[in-house]
């Protein structure tokens, strides 16, 4: 197809206009995190770094931001690792092995995937309480991973389905067991899928709010999203400058991750496992 | 190197309700190269994968050196296999592809190097060892697949149409190369192919398959000179044997109104008379008319019209210039004739 040279600047302008509200949002975030007061999108009352004081002191009895950051990192990487590992193993089994109940299992994964997680919250709460995992990071990690794994299985199953059977038969005759084939042949060949799923899982866990909000109480287990939320619903009047600064702080790792991971994300669309 | 003896006893395979392989008995002697020859979809690959242990037989037994191996895992069967698609690992370079079976046996790095280098040198792919499969030619991939199958010095080599993806020239040289290798190493081998000239040229013995059944298991000479039924007669030989359907009576064969004198030993009653195109001579008294002449290089294949829809293929030396429609006489006396009964089974010697 290819866009006409005469027409495309107009498209660019149109698309630019459409994304303006989002750009304005980020602009507001940056500006107000650095200024005394905002009037719309215009900073008034001069610049100040005071909004970033949460970096070196505790704000209004809240725990240190660094604790929340490390909780969030543990949470996000824990979820991503668990999700990729379990999805990969399950997807491989479903794609390659014949076992009783495989069809039913496949169907159930689909149903689970389309289940709204929120409707399960109360049940999850009771189960975690029962297991003694309520108000722990491990508990939320397990729940978040469990809820996202069905999608991961579907995504990776597609990747495994694309691997040639001959290659696996060759590995069997070369002396490999199924387990060895999984780790040494199949996994490396679906690497683009693993990296993409891992990146998605990381981003999704990073932004997760509802689960930590309901399953975590004590503020030493807070994640960044809970920290941020505490600023919005604060008893003291909401400090928008502080809110913007924390919001920006929460956002930065995602931007970094995206810059690092975009090559892999694009890889999925670039197509398959090229040598 | 050691070569094991392989015996299949009443081996059969069904996928669901479909019987892909009917009970089959066959024996491969140590150091022998046996070819499975047959048209597409007749169960050759299935049989090979049964021997490799990738499929489980539905009935019957597989014996290596007299020991039943039905439930032995493929990795414990001491086999090397080359797949039609080569099935190299695309994420590993050729060196690591070939080294893979050795790494699984936890052989020391220095020994792995030595053995991979040796087999790569032997097969002429030493220069491209550090490229990935996608970066080498089809012929080099085929060698790499062969090297991977040979490097662990298996006692049984299984080859599933290893040459079918190569162009005609390389195919011919690869044929003799594999055969020489196999004989040097004395390794028991099974070669699957649907190319009869490949099977006849390479194998000690050939098993001719059709629709899940072995029709004949014999040496190439035996297959050619004494095909055991009309399927083998029509399948082996290029161009194929002429098979005439008619009635045998005392000293004669009646082919749709044409009478051909035959020696004794025929079945009597209805049946088939087989005669190879290269055994028929021109210049006799059976009158025919030339249909088409196909030059095949050294020889010309003539389609001769005997009237009422009867045709015969005849192979003659090139050089005789013949116009379509020309009248030609045929001579069948002295030609080796093959007799088959009404069911297509060979009768007599
Ligand atoms: N896994 C399977 N499930 C069901 N049917 C199968 C399976 N594998 C093979 N078949 C069927 O079994 C028959 C024999 O297959 P096989 O691959 O052994 O043929 P082949 O002789 O190797 O043919 P080709 O020369 O085309 O490779 C075919 O009709 C095929 O469709
Ligand atoms: Mg096949």
Q: Per residue in B206-250, pLDDT tens?
A: 999 998 889 999 999 999 999 999 999 999 988 899 999 999 988
Closest approach atom of ligand 1 to CA B16: 4
Between B179 and B309, the higher pLDDT residue: B179
**Which residues neighbour B131 within 8 Å (Cβ) at sequence distance 6 or greater?**
B93, B94
Query: pLDDT grade, residue B261 (50/70/90)?
Result: confident
Q: Which of B83, B91, B148 sits opposite A275 (nearest CB)?
A: B91
Q: Does residue B321 sit in helix, strand or coil?
A: coil
B137 CA → ligand 1 middle, Å: 28
Sign of the dihedral defined by the CA atoms of residues B164, B205, B7, B40, in that order: positive
Q: Evaluate: CB of B40 within 6 angstroms of ligand 1.
A: yes
Question: Is the pLDDT assigned to residue A133 strictly greater than 60?
Answer: yes
Query: Could you tell me if A167 lies within 8 Å of chain B, comparing CB atoms?
Result: yes
Ligand 1 pocket member B194 (CB < 6 A): yes
Return d(Cα B256, Cα B209) in angstroms, integer.
31
User: Which is nearest to A173 in space by CA: B79, B49, B156?
Assistant: B79
Residues of chain A contacting B158 with CB distance shorter than 8 Å = 173
- The DSSP call for residue B58 is S
Q: What is the mean pLDDT of residues B63-78?
A: 94
Question: How far away, in angstroms, is B45 Cα from ligand 2 center?
Answer: 4
Chain A residue with CA closest to B94: the answer is: A275
Q: Which residues of B touch A172 (CB under 8 A)?
A: 52-54, 74-75
Tell whether the model's pLDDT for residue A274 goes beyond 50.
Answer: no
Ligand 1 within 6 A of CB of B212: no
pLDDT at A234: 62
Find chain A residues with C-beta within 8 A of B77's C-beta. Answer: 173
Cβ–Cβ of B91/A177 closer than 8 Å?
no
Record the tokens describing residue A27, joined without a space. Answer: 């602009």
Question: B259 vs B199, B243, B306, B332, CA distance in Å?
Answer: 36, 15, 12, 11
Q: What is the pLDDT of residues B283-297, one digit of tens each?
A: 888 888 898 888 888
Whole-number pLDDT of residue A109: 87
What sections of chain B are H helices per DSSP? 44-52, 94-104, 109-123, 138-150, 168-185, 196-202, 220-225, 230-235
The pLDDT value recorded for residue A235 is 62
- So what's the pLDDT on residue B26? 94
Confidence (pLDDT) at B327: 86
Query: Which residues of chain A neighbour B145 with C-beta distances below 8 Å?
Result: 170
Per-residue pLDDT for A212 more than 80? yes
CA B179 to centroid of ligand 2, rounded, Å: 20
Ligand 1 pocket, residue B13 CB under 6 Å: no
Residue nearest to atom 14 of ligand 1 (CA): B43
Pairing of strands B281-295, B299-305: antiparallel
From chain A, the residues in CB contact with B116 under 8 A are none
CA distance B336 to B341: 17
User: Smallest CA–CA separation between B173 and chain A, in Å?
Assistant: 25
Amino acid A115: pLDDT: 77
pLDDT at B258 over 90: no
Considering only CA atoms, which residue is closest to atom 31 of ligand 1?
A: B41
pLDDT of residue A113: 79
Find the mean pLDDT for residues A228-236. Answer: 76
CA atoms within 13 A on the CB side of A268: 16
Looking at residue A266, its pLDDT comes to 66
Strands B33-37 and B188-193 turn out to be parallel
Which of B81, B89, B90 is the closest to A173 by Cβ? B81
Mutate to test the interface with B, among A98, A163, A170 (most CBs of B within 10 A): A170
How high does pLDDT run on average in chain A? 86
CA quadruple B199, B203, B204, B210: dihedral sign: negative
Cα-to-centroid distance, B215 and ligand 1 (Å): 18
Residue nearest (by alpha carbon) to ligand 1 atom 28: B41
Chain B residues in contact with A176 by the CB 8 A cut-off are: 75, 100, 104
Query: CB B87 to CB A273 under 8 A?
Result: no
Is A271 touching B (CB cutoff 8 A)?
Answer: no
Highest mean pLDDT among A134-143, A242-251, A262-271, B161-170: A134-143
Calculate the CA B75 to chain-centre distance. Answer: 27
| A1: pLDDT strictly greater than 60 | no
For A142-155, what is each residue's pLDDT tens digit? 999 999 999 999 99
Q: Domains in chain A, ordered, with CATH? A: 2-48 (no CATH), 64-269 (1.10.3720.10)
Q: What is the pLDDT of residues B297-346, one digit of tens each?
A: 888 999 998 888 888 999 988 877 778 888 888 888 888 999 999 999 99
The three-class DSSP label of residue B280 is coil
What does the pLDDT read at residue A268? 52
The reply to whether ligand 1 has any atom less than 6 angstroms from the CB of B46 is yes
Residue B5 in this model has a pLDDT that exceeds 80: yes
Q: What is the rounded average pLDDT for all residues in chain B?
A: 91
CA distance A70 to A63: 12
pTM: 0.83
CA distances from A265 to A92, A185, A194 (A): 21, 22, 10
Query: What local confidence, expressed as pLDDT, does residue A237 receive?
Result: 67
- The string of pLDDT tens digits covering residues B134-155 is 999 999 999 999 999 999 999 9
Mean pLDDT on A228-243: 77
- How many angstroms from the chain centroid is the CA of residue A12? 30
- Verify whether the Cβ–Cβ distance B49 to A169 is below 8 Å: yes
SS3 readout for chain A: CCCCCCCHHHHHHHHHHHHHHHHHHHHHHHHHHHEEEEECCEEEEEECCHHHHHHCCCCCCCCCHHHHHHHHHHHHHHHHHHHHHHHHHHHHHHHHCCCCCHHHHHHHHHHHHCCCHHHHHHHHHHHHHHHCCCCCHHHHHHHHHHHHHHHHHHHHHHHHHCCCHHHHHHHHHHCCCHHHHHHHHHHHHCHHHHHHHHHHHHHHHHCCCHHHHHHCCCHHHCCHHHHHHHHHCCCCCCCHHHHHHHHHHHHHHHHHHHHHHHHHHHHHHHCCCCC
Q: Using the mean position of ligand 2's atoms as its centre, give its distance from the Cα of residue B164 in Å.
A: 11
pLDDT digits (tens, 9 = 90+) for A31-40: 888 887 777 7
Q: Pick A167's closest partner by Cβ from B80, B84, B89.
A: B89
Would you say residue B37 has pLDDT above 90?
Answer: yes
pLDDT digits (tens, 9 = 90+) for A64-97: 889 889 999 999 999 999 999 999 999 999 999 8
Residues of B within 8 A of A171 (CB-CB) are 89, 100
For ligand 1, say whether the CB of B41 is within 6 Å of any of its atoms: yes
Higher-confidence residue of B174 and A172: namely A172
* CA A2–ligand 1 middle distance (angstroms): 45
Please give the average per-residue pLDDT across B106-132, as a whole number.
Answer: 94
Pocket test for ligand 1, best of B41, B162, B191, B215 (most atoms within 8 A of CB): B41
Between helix B138-150 and helix B168-185 the angle, nearest 10°, is 10
Q: Give one word for B186, left, alpha or beta, with left for phi > 0 and alpha for psi -120 to 50.
A: left
The pLDDT of residue B198: 93
The answer, yes or no, to whether residue B98 has pLDDT greater than 90, is yes
Closest in B54, B73, B77 to A169, CB measured: B54
Q: What pLDDT score does B332 carry?
A: 84
Q: What are phi and psi of B337, to 5 degrees?
A: -110, 145
> In this model, does residue B107 exceed pLDDT 50?
yes
């Amino acid at each position: 197809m290819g866009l006409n040279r005469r027409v495309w600047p107009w498209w660019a302008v149109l698309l630019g206009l459409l994304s303006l509200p989002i750009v304005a949002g980020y602009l507001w975030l940056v500006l107000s995190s650095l200024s005394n007061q905002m009037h719309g999108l215009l900073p008034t009352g001069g610049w100040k770094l005071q909004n970033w004081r949460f970096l070196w002191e505790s704000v209004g009895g809240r725990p240190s931001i660094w604790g929340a950051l490390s909780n969030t990192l543990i949470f996000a990487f824990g979820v991503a690792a668990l999700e990729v590992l379990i999805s990969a193993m399950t997807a491989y089994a479903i794609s390659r092995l014949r076992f009783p109940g495989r069809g039913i299992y496949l169907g159930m994964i689909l149903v689970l995937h389309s289940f709204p997680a929120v409707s399960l919250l109360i049940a999850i709460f009771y189960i975690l309480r029962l297991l003694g995992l309520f108000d722990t990071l491990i508990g939320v990690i397990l729940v978040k991973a469990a809820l996202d794994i069905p999608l991961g299985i579907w995504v990776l199953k597609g990747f495994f389905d694309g691997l040639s059977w001959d290659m696996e038969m060759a590995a069997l005759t070369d002396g490999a067991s199924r387990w060895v084939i999984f780790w040494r042949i199949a996994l490396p060949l679906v690497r683009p899928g693993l990296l993409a799923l891992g990146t998605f899982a990381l981003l999704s866990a990073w932004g997760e709010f509802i689960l930590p909000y309901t399953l975590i109480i004590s503020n030493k287990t807070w994640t960044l999203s809970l920290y941020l939320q505490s600023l919005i619903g604060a008893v003291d009047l909401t400090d928008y400058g502080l809110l913007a600064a924390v919001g920006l702080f929460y956002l930065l790792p995602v931007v970094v991750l995206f810059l690092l991971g975009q090559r892999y994300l694009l890889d999925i669309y670039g197509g398959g496992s090229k040598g | 190197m050691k070569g094991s003896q392989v015996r299949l006893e009443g081996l059969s395979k069904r996928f669901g309700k479909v019987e892909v392989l009917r009970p089959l008995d066959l024996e491969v002697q140590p150091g022998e190269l046996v070819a499975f020859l047959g048209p597409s979809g007749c169960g050759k690959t299935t049989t090979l994968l049964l021997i490799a242990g990738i499929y489980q037989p539905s009935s019957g037994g597989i014996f290596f050196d007299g020991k039943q191996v039905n439930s032995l895992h493929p990795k414990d069967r001491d086999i090397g296999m080359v797949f039609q698609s080569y099935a190299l690992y695309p994420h590993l370079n050729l060196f690591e592809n070939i080294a893979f079976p050795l790494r699984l046996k936890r052989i020391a790095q220095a020994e792995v190097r030595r053995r991979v280098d040796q087999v790569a040198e032997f097969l002429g792919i030493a220069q491209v060892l550090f490229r990935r499969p996608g970066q080498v030619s089809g012929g080099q991939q085929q060698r790499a697949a062969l090297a991977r199958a040979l490097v662990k010095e298996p006692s049984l080599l299984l080859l599933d149409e290893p040459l079918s993806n190569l162009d005609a020239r390389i195919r011919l040289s690869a044929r003799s190369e594999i055969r020489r290798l196999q004989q040097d190493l004395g390794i028991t081998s099974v070669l699957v192919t649907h190319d009869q000239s490949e099977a006849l040229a390479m194998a000690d013995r050939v098993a001719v398959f059709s629709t899940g059944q072995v029709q004949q298991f014999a040496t190439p000479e035996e297959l050619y000179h004494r095909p055991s039924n009309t399927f083998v007669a029509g399948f082996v030989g290029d161009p194929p044997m002429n098979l005439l359907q008619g009635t045998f009576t005392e000293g004669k064969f009646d082919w749709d109104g044409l009478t051909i004198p035959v020696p004794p030993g025929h079945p009597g009653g209805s049946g088939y008379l087989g005669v190879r195109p290269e055994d028929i001579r021109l210049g006799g008294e059976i009158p025919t008319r030339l249909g088409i002449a196909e030059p095949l290089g050294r020889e010309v294949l003539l389609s001769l019209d005997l009237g009422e829809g009867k045709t015969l293929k005849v192979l003659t030396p090139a050089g005789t210039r013949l116009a379509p429609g020309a009248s030609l006489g045929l001579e069948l006396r002295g030609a080796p004739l093959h007799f088959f009964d009404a069911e297509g089974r060979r009768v007599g010697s």
